[in-house]
Amino acid sequence: MGEAIKINEISTINKPKFKGKDFIQLSDFSTDEILYLLNEAIEMKKLQKQGKPHPYLSGKVLGMIFEKSSTRTRVSFEVGMLQLGGHAIFLSSKDIQLGRGESISDTAKVLSRYVDGLMIRTFSHDSVEELAEHATVPVINGLTDLQHPTQVLADLLTILEHKGKLSGLKMCYIGDGNNNMTHSLMEGAMKVGMDISIASPPGYLPNGNITEKAIKVGKQTGCALLITNDPLEAVKGADVIVTDVWTSMGQEDETEKRLKAFQGFQVNDELCKLAKEDFIFLHCLPAHRGEEVTAEVIDGSHSVVFDEAENRLHAQKAILKLLLAK
């Protein structure tokens, strides 16, 4: 809807001393570190819009391991590396020896001798952590069943652009609470000072360990976390409404069960009337219009889903610069 703007609350953040080499989950990062990455993403976006070269990663190579199919993750990382002056290599698990039984540890040790960084999009979160443990180059979590931190960094960037701030806002998530988006949204929102409410049907509540950690962070940042089975309660006064598909990759055999369980959890015009008048709507895409969200909402004036999709590129360039430009 508009170009990125400089936000006062993050423009004065100096570069923190990042302790880790990887980008696995947002809970690993401090509030200042997340705000610094958002500021870097804004600068990256400005440079691109102005047509100014920014080859921070000239000569660098990113290896990208995909066990799950992708549109936005693959294209944004490939384009991001190109715009940063580097190169990305697509590595399908079907095409490399990992898909034929080679261990993750051996794969990590070998690829670390070829590339400057690794991005992996997979099912098990343990696979990402094992890859990072044995790799000597930075590892980026492009998605697991448990976490989706690169997407949520882009979500925070989108909210920042449209609302001019993060702290003090209320985010509401409607849908499957026990999925990667919910978990990373909980971590990200609480870190940057946003209240978050989550409405999910019984049996689909967020991971208990992640919830406990988010509550601890909320006590430090002064944020509230609400988990409920009532979408009407969750959405009241929301500045930001978020949803995701009801059936994620790998859950296809549960489709019918989930369609029944999530009746009443659709984001539609009636539900949105309880939010702030100027709320914005986010969805990580792909979307199933008529299921988790109506066409009227996702294609309506409050929707910023395509700004959000574009911001995957800018947010990930900030991550890549941080990890690979050392």
Along the 326 residues of the chain, how does pLDDT read in single tens digits?
333 334 545 555 678 888 889 999 999 999 999 999 999 999 999 999 999 999 999 999 999 999 999 999 999 999 999 999 999 999 998 889 887 889 999 999 999 999 999 999 999 999 999 999 999 999 999 999 999 999 999 999 999 999 999 999 999 999 999 999 999 999 999 999 999 999 999 999 999 999 999 999 999 999 999 999 999 999 999 999 999 999 988 888 899 999 999 999 999 999 999 999 999 999 999 999 999 999 999 999 999 999 999 999 999 999 999 999 97
Task: Quote the pLDDT of residue 1.
Answer: 35
CA nearest neighbour of 125 among 143, 107, 111: 143
Catalytic residues: 121, 148, 151, 244, 284, 312
pTM, 2 dp: 0.95
pLDDT at 249: 80
Place of tokens 């039984």: 101
Compute CA distances 295 → 1, 28, 173, 246, 263, whole Å.
19, 36, 18, 16, 17
What lies within 8 Å, CB to CB, of 66 at 6+ separation is 74, 90, 91, 92, 93, 120, 121, 122, 142
